Amino acid sequence: NAGVTQTPKFQVLKTGQSMTLQCAQDMNHNSMYWYRQDPGMGLRLIYYSASEGTTDKGEVPNGYNVSRLNKREFSLRLESAAPSQTSVYFCASSLHPSGETQYFGPGTRLLVL
């Protein structure tokens, strides 16, 4: 039981490049989330998927897109990376969206030059 896995662990991009961050969970959870963590700002929700087939914007969705590929996988895409997107990105999942514990992956460190 690996829990929540994220790939890659670390990535360097140039401004304007695109990339997709991958997330998978093996806990049969219904809900999945993408956060970014910046110093002094805590975690901010980018997008979430309350259940398979649905996605919704969070607090900071601009510049990102998501795909809930199936129940296990939830990917985050940066179409044209900007230095402001330099951050640590965390994927999380929970059994249900309401009031449930969220389980976090180990994170992806992204540097945009």
Partner 1 sequence: AQSVTQLGSHVSVSEGALVLLRCNYSSSVPPYLFWYVQYPNQGLQLLLKYTSAATLVKGINGFEAEFKKSETSFHLTKPSAHMSDAAEYFCAVSGVNTGFQKLVFGTGTRLLVSP
Answer yes or no: are the C-beta atoms of 32 and 74 closer than 8 Å.
Answer: yes
Q: Which of 19, 50, 55, 63 binds partner 1 (CB under 8 A)?
A: 50
Structure tokens at 14: 């140039």
Q: Count of CB atoms within 10 A of residue 30's CB?
A: 17
Q: Residue 28 carries which side chain, given as an amino acid letter?
A: N
Q: Residue 16 carries which side chain, given as an amino acid letter?
A: G
Q: Which of 24, 25, 46, 48 binds partner 1 (CB under 8 A)?
A: 48
The size of the interface with partner 1 (CB under 8 A), counted in residues, is 26
Closer CB to partner 1, 74 or 90, in the complex: 90
Closer CB to partner 1, 78 or 105, in the complex: 105
Interaction between residue 105 and partner 1 (CB under 8 A):
yes
